[in-house]
A = this chain, B = another copy of it.
Amino acid sequence: MPSPAHSFSWDDALRVSLQEYSQDNPSNLSGFFERVKLCNRGSELQSEFLPFFVGSDIAGYIHYRFANHLRDFPDVFIFSQDDSRGSGSGGHVSLCPSLRTPDDRTKAVASVVEYLAEALIPGIRKELYPVKSSFDSPILFSLERAAAPYFGIKVYGVHMNGYAERNGEEFLWIGKRSHEKSTFPGMLDHLVAGGLPHDIACGENIIKECEEEAGIPRTISRRAIPVGAVSYMDIDGVRFKRDVLFCYDLKLPQDFTPNNQDGEVESFKLIPVPQVVNIIRRTNFFKPNCSLVIIDFLFRHGYIKPEYDGYLDLLRSLKSGDCS
């Protein structure tokens, strides 16, 4: 497996995509399973996290070491050893019940996050994510995006596979992330993807991101169709990601070329799907969660077949997280 993942060029990726590996067999799904695993680390460490309640709703999960820093803010966070709420480790964290409205909670938590940011929460983005116990439930409060994994809240995103058909063959538009990005610099990416802020619907967000990330006009992007969702659950140290990605497909006109507007993408290439498959199976070049959404595309477009050993296991694994 070529590595390290972040220091490769398009040439490296294309070389892998075209090379024939004698040990490769399309029915061997192990490369895909490795990519899924990379998004679902540390499930054996769940007991190190305390449920984080807002009222009677579970808003997230907080690592006991990170939680210790929150004990300095008793006006915001309350700790309990009471086991009645189902925490195996016998404790949980709650927001103070005196913080009654989402607004009150947002401000109170923001002040704590601001205080802890320098030492503990790198990469503050000044971007708020809604905190909910599930997608359809009411917003409990809003939280700085960079702090989300420290509170283990559910985060929702939209990811779009942009593809084109030429001579009956399917191609995927693949982006290479700018080296200036704070997260996953230089890695391969979808044509369009983004987190879901609290004030915008999925479909509208896709259209907005299409414009910003790939210069796709609304006349085209409104044809993007929602095709399902994937989910994962990733524990990395004190961080717990519980992400659900809404997946979209957009079939682009043959003559369309994407054009990044916001500087977040270095460049795009149109790559035949079987070559994308090779990159996914053999490398960690893709931003990890993009692999899941591309594997979902491969399932829906018939590239992964029931005859391949592990078909149902791989299909299920695309929703390894709480997909709610």
A316 to B322, CA, bound (A): 10
Q: Is the CB of A307 within 8 A of B202?
A: yes
Say yes or no for A220: interface residue by CB 8 A criterion. no
A227-B300, A227-B302, A228-B299 known; A203 vs B307 contact (CB < 8 Å): yes
Interface residues on A, range: 20 to 34
- Verify A135–B203 contact, CB threshold 8 A: no
The answer to whether B310 and A136 have CB atoms under 8 Å apart is yes
Residue of B nearest to A324 (CB): B312
Q: Is the interface of A mostly helix, strand, loop or mixed?
A: mixed
Nearest CB on B from A23, distance (A): 20
Whether A33 sits at the interface, judged by CB under 8 Å, is: no
One digit per residue, 1 when the CB lies within 8 angstroms of any chain B CB and 0 when it does not, for chain A 263-275 equals 0000000000000
Asked if A198 CB lies within 8 Å of chain B CBs, one says no
Nearest B residue to A225, CB-CB: B302
Q: How far is the CB of A136 from chain B (nearest CB, A)?
A: 5
A215 interface residue, CB < 8 Å from B? Answer: no
A135 with B227, Cβ < 8 A, contacts A201-B307, A306-B246 known: no
Binding site for B on A (CB under 8 A): 134-136, 201-203, 225-229, 244, 246, 249, 299-302, 304-307, 309-313, 315-316, 319, 323-324
